[in-house]
Structure 1
Amino acid sequence: MKKLLLFALCAFISHASISQIIYEEFNSSKLGESRRLKIQLPRNYDSNVEKKYPIVLVLDADYLFEPVAGNVDYFSYWEDMPESIVVGIMQGDSRYDDCAYDDNTFMPGEKGAKFFEFIGMELLPYIDGKYRTAKFIIGVGHDFTANFLNYYLFKDPPLLNGYINLSPDMAPMMEDRLIERIPKIPGKIFYYVATGTDDIKGLMEAAEDLNSRLSGLKSNSFSYYYDNFDGATHYSLGGRGIPNALEKIFSVYRPISKKEYNEVLLKMDTPIHQYLLDKYKVIEDLFGITNNIRVNDFIATATAAEKKSQWESLREIATLAKRQYPNTVLGDYYLGRYYEETGEPKKAMKIYQGAYDKEEVDFITIDKLLDRADKIKSDFGY
């Protein structure tokens, strides 16, 4: 019995710490029928009651949902992208009708127009109303459904902020329309196209042509990425394109890397603390989420400030760290270092000593702080 209870407890803990998958039947008045949805909520969604999450909308969810949801969960676990709500629409054979376009205008027609309104006027408002969502949406589609997502670029403002086009099968005139439309969009747009050398020949050639045209666009608000995977087929390219797209779109979100530390922070002549503030302001503006600054980023910028002897920046970083992580030694350590280097060792000693009952962070241990306090006391005879 004890073993059974222990197993049940472990299973409960394990279930609570992984992403939640929800299946729903959504009754659409626009379509005049119900649609099957698959929704993945982030880990600990229920416990983080103040947190808001971007949306990743997946068409062709019958086979694209799992690779997208798995990558979103993996990347967000390692903080390479924000935790996100993944919403998949099961389509099956209806994908052709869903994505149908008019033979004259090449814009959504008949059931395609209804499906267009279903997503924009029913599904996404429903998700916004039921879950805690941030104002950032990425769409993922494959061939016909990839083309369909592009229609949302022509709304003012565009419904989606990011477009992941896997081997897109573009409607006639779509390329010309994109070239004309994209420079006119004032807000930030992320746009990714993937094909493979073993993709369907016509689609690969069309993707290469689209790439040559999009890569020449001049727009500060348009971030464009392209991959042509060696040996990838029409279906296998998704397994390589999805993680590449997420990595590129959310590159600014990632923690400060060793390369960024060496090639950016250590070469800065401007205040390093401002770089830290700007990084998180960009994250807030782009993705609609407000997070505490990561401990890793505090340490990276503070260490760079020390090496560059930017003591005022170090003080700013320490003050912000004390505000965001008041129960840890993080801010106390760097504030003490500031006072040490600016000629006030007695203040530094008291700060180190005052943090003896706080939580340790990374290499900053209580022993480290007390050792620094003892050294100051010995050197200056306090």
Structure 2
Amino acid sequence: MNKTVYAMKKTLLYILSSLICNTAISQNIMNVEQHSFKSTTYKEKRSFRIAVPASAYPNVKYNILLVLDADYAFDLIASTAIYLQTFEYIPPTAVVAIDYSTPGNRNDVGYDLSNNSLDSSGELFYNYINTDLERELNKILPTSGFYTLVGHSYTASYLNYYIDAGNVYIKSYILFSPEEMEQLPRFENNYKTNVPSIRIITAMDDTDARKSFGQNLYKTFQEKHYDVKLKNIKADHMSVIPAGIMDALTGLYDEYYNIDSIYNIIEHADTSLWEIFLNINESNKYRYNQELPISGSYISAFLWTAIQRDEKESVNKFRIYYDNALMNEESDPNALGVMGDLMNKLGLLEEADYYLNRCLARYKKLKQEHETLYWRRVYALNVLPKLGQCKKAWKLLEEGKKIYPDDKAIFSYYQGVLSIENNYLIKQGIEQMKFAVSNPVILKNNFVDPEKAEELLKKGISMLKDLKEN
């Protein structure tokens, strides 16, 4: 590729990466931190950046994605990885930029493509990644021990050195458009356990030499019985990263049981929900060092399905399991809410009260009360009235008006429902329902039929009339 064109594309990629990263940060799904420490290998200060989800489950252990050529590749890869794990398509993952001594200085890598060897600079860099950086990361984050190394072009081919050496620290590799090598390494190291997972992404609009090399590399790894996959995508040599990173990550975790695959298994399995859960959990731990997270979506997938299927034994086991898991004060508030909702469906009102109260308190502590609309409705209308706590329910809904000033009408509607269906503060409930009915657009936006609201209003007016007559 012409060097001027290469430089221009690299600059454009850097700009695109920055925009995507800034978007992820502005949407409060990702935090990026800069860290510096004294390297025992280099005997001087070295730095790296690390991206983690803005919010995480308690006791989480992160898989680590180590990114080479971080000056232009880190932001794109980090944003995609954080996005995917936010929606639980991949396990909890921290993304680390392995910064060179100066931005873009690949001389640090010190890798010779002609004979798969390292010069003195490369030996230092290799030792730095495998000792200093690993040690420092374990000081900063709880890690799972599942490390992935990502490279592009020259550094993608550099990963062959790790694979050939039988590196036990790195468990998987992502190679974007690896640079052609005169001769492939022999890859004579026999992995007795933990065969490496390798994902190769090549570009249709790249040179024939690179595409051919990617194919040959793939075939060689296949012959060695490594866990390898190759994907050739519509991109050129530089755009292969933004075009292929999602495929690369989901392809790497293709045996990870995310929420979609779990529902598919549940639908087709003929064993109990509890047995399905145990098998999936063990598989994820063995393959990726990760247990299923204690999140609302997973609790719903297993416990709610068990309730619907009337699998009493599974329900009891899930209750015990999630009760223990959610004892942590820093539990995911959405998980607490889901548990509260499901306890209500089981008729366990005190347990429902306990979880939903913790749910709202946790959101408040995290300064995320804008996420509580649904849980306020569930708690105020489905649980508290059954416990004779209509006063508390009314207050929760009143607080909702302050949190959602543009949606006051929906909370007025809920107050009207609370009042009319529980014969509580009928006069005030009628006034609130009148206000709600006068805002049909807000009701529709919150999936409430305005005609239903008008019917409830008429019912309330009739109830008030009967009270006055009696």
Q: TM-score range by the shorter chain?
A: 0.7 to 0.9
Q: 1:125 aligned to 2:135?
A: yes
Q: 1:148 aligned to 2:144?
A: no
The counterpart of 1:108, out of the listed 85, 107, 118, is: 118
Size of the aligned set, in residue pairs, is 336
- Residue ranges of structure 2 left out of the alignment (5+ in a row): 1-24, 328-334, 360-373, 388-470
- Separation (CA, whole Å) in 1 of partners of 2:120 and 2:351: 67
After superposition, where does 1:275-294 map in structure 2 within 5 Å?
275-290=276-291, 292-294=293-295
- Separation (CA, whole Å) in 2 of partners of 1:98 and 1:34: 17
The counterpart of 2:215, out of the listed 208, 223, 226, is: 208
Determine which structure has the larger helix proportion and give its number.
2
**Aligned partner of 2:231: which letter?**
D
User: Measured at CA, do residues 237 and 15 of structure 1 come closer, stay the same or move farther in structure 2, by a change above 3 Å?
Assistant: closer
Scaled by the length of structure 2, the TM-score of the pair is: 0.60
Aligned match of 2:174: 164
Q: Relative contact order (alpha carbons < 8 A, sep ≥ 6): 1 or 2 greater?
A: 1
C-alpha displacement at 1:237, in angstroms?
0.7
- Separation (CA, whole Å) in 2 of partners of 1:267 and 1:72: 29
Q: Quick one: percent identity of the two aligned structures?
A: 21
- Separation (CA, whole Å) in 2 of partners of 1:332 and 1:135: 34
- Separation (CA, whole Å) in 2 of partners of 1:74 and 1:80: 9
Aligned match of 1:138: 148
Aligned partner of residue 207 in structure 1, secondary structure? helix
- Separation (CA, whole Å) in 1 of partners of 2:228 and 2:213: 16
C-alpha displacement at 1:93, in angstroms?
5.0
User: Measured at CA, do residues 170 and 136 of structure 1 come closer, stay the same or move farther in structure 2, by a change above 3 Å?
Assistant: farther
- Separation (CA, whole Å) in 1 of partners of 2:240 and 2:167: 30
Cα-to-partner distance string for 1:294-313 (whole Å, 9 max, x where unaligned)? 33223223454456554433
Between stretches 27-36 and 60-69, larger displacement belongs to: 27-36
- Separation (CA, whole Å) in 2 of partners of 1:249 and 1:124: 21
Aligned partner of residue 85 in structure 1, secondary structure? strand
- Separation (CA, whole Å) in 1 of partners of 2:46 and 2:27: 28
After superposition, where does 1:223-372 map in structure 2 within 5 Å?
223-230=227-234, 232-253=235-256, 255-257=258-260, 260-261=262-263, 263-290=264-291, 292-305=293-306, 310-325=311-326, 328=336, 351-355=347-351, 357-359=353-355, 365=378
- Separation (CA, whole Å) in 2 of partners of 1:272 and 1:206: 46
User: Measured at CA, do residues 311 and 372 of structure 1 come closer, stay the same or move farther in structure 2, by a change above 3 Å?
Assistant: farther
Scaled by the length of structure 1, the TM-score of the pair is: 0.73
Bigger Rg over Cα: 2
- Residue ranges of structure 1 left out of the alignment (5+ in a row): 1-13, 338-347, 374-382
Report if the CA contact (8 A) 1:54-1:83 is conserved.
Answer: yes
C-alpha displacement at 1:137, in angstroms?
1.1
- Separation (CA, whole Å) in 2 of partners of 1:322 and 1:120: 39
User: Measured at CA, do residues 44 and 292 of structure 1 come closer, stay the same or move farther in structure 2, by a change above 3 Å?
Assistant: closer
C-alpha displacement at 1:114, in angstroms?
2.2
Report if the CA contact (8 A) 1:79-1:254 is conserved.
Answer: no
Report if the CA contact (8 A) 2:90-2:258 is conserved.
Answer: no
C-alpha displacement at 1:147, in angstroms?
1.8
- Separation (CA, whole Å) in 1 of partners of 2:203 and 2:232: 5
- Separation (CA, whole Å) in 2 of partners of 1:187 and 1:29: 29
The counterpart of 2:34, out of the listed 23, 45, 54, is: 23
**Aligned partner of 2:65: which letter?**
V
- Separation (CA, whole Å) in 2 of partners of 1:32 and 1:331: 51
| Alignment root-mean-square deviation, CA | 3.8
The counterpart of 1:94, out of the listed 92, 101, 105, is: 105
User: Measured at CA, do residues 22 and 30 of structure 1 come closer, stay the same or move farther in structure 2, by a change above 3 Å?
Assistant: same
